[in-house]
Amino acid sequence: MDFLHELRRSFPELFDHLEEILRHFPFVEKWFLQGPLRPLLEEESKNLLSHLKEKLKPYQNTLPVFASLPPKGLAREEIWKLLSQMQQTEMGWQKGLASGAVYHGSPEHIALLNEAYSLFSQVNPLHFDLWPSASKMESEIISMAAHLFTENLSPEEKEEICGSITSGGTESIILAMKAYRDQAREERGIKQGEIIIPQTAHVAFEKAAHYLGLVVRKVGVDDNYRARVDEVKKAIQHSTICLVGSAPAFPHGSIDPIEELSELAFRHGIGFHTDACLGGFILPFAKKLGYEIPAFDFSLRGVTSLSADTHKYGYAAKGTSIILYRTKKLRQYQYFTATDWPGGLYFSPTMAGSRPGGLLAACYAAMLSLGYEGYLANTQKILHTAQKIRDGIAQIPHLKLIGNPLFIITFTSNSPHLDIYQVLDNMSQRGYSLNGLQRPRAIHLAVTLRHCEADFVERFLHDLTEAVRQCYGKPASEGTLAPVYGLAESLPIRGAIHQLLKTLLDAYYST
């Protein structure tokens, strides 16, 4: 693996070309996987499984395993004890050890969400005749969110903005791509639509294409990791149904040139989706606080849909997200209806049929409890903390900040003697759960309210400094996570990495 890493670092273009060739000649990749690479893949799978056993199944020797139903039901006290043991072991996020994951996390806020959920735990919006409260809460959540993204619109235009609540950002993105696919089929006769996304766009767009039978065209990014408008312009063709921009992109926190991209979409008569899953409940408030935030929402005439995650900086319980559309007509392409089923007339707005009304109630409670001033105050805390962390990382030898994002802090190594994945591994051993990135090799921290506690910044910078000191000059092959990330970053035969990831998923489901 070290040899592959050095080759990629010395000849990056050669490896990129090799990947492209293998995509067009899958039988060559298959030969590599079944022949020369098979021993390496088997060895790495064993290493991965060995590491995962500790990470995914730490309770195997301490708690009972229920591979089948117990002969008799357990007493409530036993169940509570079992659940409490696991819950108490997994509280590192309270200390800010996680990147993102838990975005609010105060005991009072959690109690509010739990109480709201418990009141509506039996509610299913599918049966809106039984629970009209679901319609009230969902429609008002959508309206409250939409008002954040409709500045400078006329009353008539604001009235058209609409949406749905989904299970998360991925479902929001899949539904938007479905709407564009079906719209293009009906209105333009396009049988297989294409979407154009930057290399840094969330992988959920590729997932949507996988499920929906769409073609993905990726375009490059500039030195600040923002989509190249000229490449997007060249990539547009008759079968293009949607352009995509991020506000911001998950890896580096950069906001794409959405004003230029959406105007390009408008002139070509195609859709434009702003992925604001990460920034939707930060950027409007950051702008209010005086930060320079480029336009990204429905104030741009070319933006036809926008996704924003309420379960991130909206501070709702996992999993709720919002998908918004410029027109009700476009939203209708998202829906599913059936008229000939013996079970009756069936209609569903999102991917799921039955949905948890308790999550709607928790989201509703979160937004009402915070109000505009609450979101504004939280955004100010997060951006202030992020600035301190950025300033601190800039002072640590051998580390280099990537870009100048607001609240997603990405850094890499600027020394050949420091492997950033070793730093990631070292921080993991200290209890942190940070995000490892590839191409370029980097780490990022999504700053949340958990990181705004009094002593976090100093503790994090101290631990990061120590991690760098201990990892400087350390062989890249050592560690636990580092070899896996290193192989994924270096190996041009992506089928091998796909297989490793499937092995990981199998391990997750094992008892």
pLDDT of residue 413: 95
pLDDT of residue 202: 96
The percent of residues above 90 in pLDDT, for the chain, comes to 72
Confidence of residue 16 (pLDDT cuts 50, 70, 90): low
- pLDDT tens-digit profile of 155-196? 999 999 999 999 999 999 999 999 999 999 999 999 999 999
Confidence of residue 1 (pLDDT cuts 50, 70, 90): very low
Q: 191 is written with which tokens?
A: 């049988």
Instruction: State which H helix or E strand residue 343 sits in.
Output: none
> How far apart, in whole angstroms, are the C-alpha atoms of residue 27 and residue 32?
9
Is the pLDDT reported for residue 462 higher than 60? yes
Cβ neighbours for 51, distance < 8 A, ≥ 6 positions apart:
480, 481, 484
Mean pLDDT of 79-98: 90
Distance of CA 57 to the CA centre of its chain: 24
Is the pLDDT reported for residue 58 higher than 80? yes
- Higher per-residue pLDDT: 94 or 272: 272
- pLDDT tens-digit profile of 218-252? 999 999 999 999 999 999 999 999 999 999 999 99
Q: Before 319, cis peptide (omega within 30)?
A: yes
Confidence of residue 7 (pLDDT cuts 50, 70, 90): very low
Dihedral of CA 311/316/320/321: which sign?
negative
Q: Which of 235-239, 289-293, 305-309, 436-440 is least confident?
A: 436-440
> How far apart, in whole angstroms, are the C-alpha atoms of residue 499 and residue 194?
27
Cβ neighbours for 359, distance < 8 A, ≥ 6 positions apart:
117, 316, 317, 319, 320
Type of residue numbered 11: F
Cα separations (Å) of 7 from 3, 492, 495?
A: 6, 11, 19
Confidence of residue 404 (pLDDT cuts 50, 70, 90): confident
Question: What b/e sequence results for 116-154 when a residue is b if at least 16 CB atoms lie within 10 Å of its CB, and e otherwise?
Answer: bbeebeebbbbeeeebebbeebbeebbebbbebbbeebe
Mean pLDDT of 59-64: 87
pLDDT of residue 39: 62
Distance of CA 244 to the CA centre of its chain: 15
- pLDDT tens-digit profile of 20-54? 555 555 655 555 556 555 666 666 666 666 666 67
Cβ-contact 150, 297 below 8 angstroms: yes
pLDDT of residue 475: 73
Distance of CA 493 to the CA centre of its chain: 25
Is the pLDDT reported for residue 312 higher than 80? yes
The percent of residues above 70 in pLDDT, for the chain, comes to 85
pLDDT of residue 48: 65
The tally of CA atoms less than 13 A away on the side-chain side of residue 329 is: 6
Give 169: exposed, middle or buried? Use CB within 10 Å, 0-12, 13-18, 19+: buried
pLDDT of residue 2: 47
Cβ neighbours for 319, distance < 8 A, ≥ 6 positions apart:
167, 168, 311, 359
- pLDDT tens-digit profile of 345-383? 898 999 999 999 999 999 999 999 999 999 999 999 999
DSSP string for 418-482: --HHHHHHHHHHTT-BPEEETTTTEEEEE--GGGGSTTHHHHHHHHHHHHHHHHTT--TT-SSHH
Closest CA to 192 of 205, 177, 207: 177
pLDDT of residue 199: 95
Query: Per-domain residue ranges for the chain?
Result: 2-62+491-509, 119-368
Q: Looking at domain 119-368, which CATH architecture does it have? A: 3-Layer(aba) Sandwich (3.40)
Is the pLDDT reported for residue 68 higher than 60? yes
Confidence of residue 19 (pLDDT cuts 50, 70, 90): low
